[in-house]
Amino acid sequence: RASLAATAARLRDLDAALARVDDGSYGWCDGCGGRIPLARLRALPEAARCVECQCRAGDPFALLAGARQ
């Protein structure tokens, strides 16, 4: 069940990313308004925040997803 819930959450995040593509805001951080580095988007295409803003939001794993920036 945990795997199913995680998959459903990722699908929601990817759908939100597609909506950002449609409205032109994909690749721009929801937190600071700056560009999200391409390396982060390649590693985590559903990212809505840069690593710094994601860390500020309390995500301890943000640095792992952005390690290749």
Average pLDDT over residues 27-47: 96
Between CA 48 and CA 14 the distance in angstroms is 10
Residues 1-25: tens digit of each pLDDT: 889 998 999 999 999 999 999 999 9
* Cβ–Cβ < 8 Å for 37, 50: yes
Residues 53-67: tens digit of each pLDDT: 998 888 777 666 554
Q: Which residues of 30-49 are buried (b: 16+ CB within 10 A; e: fewer)?
A: ebeeeebbeebbeebebbbb
Per-residue pLDDT for 46 more than 60?
Answer: yes
Residue 59 has a pLDDT of 78
Rounded-to-10 torsion of CA 47, 18, 22, 55: -10
Q: How confident is the model at residue 34 (pLDDT cuts 50, 70, 90)?
A: very high
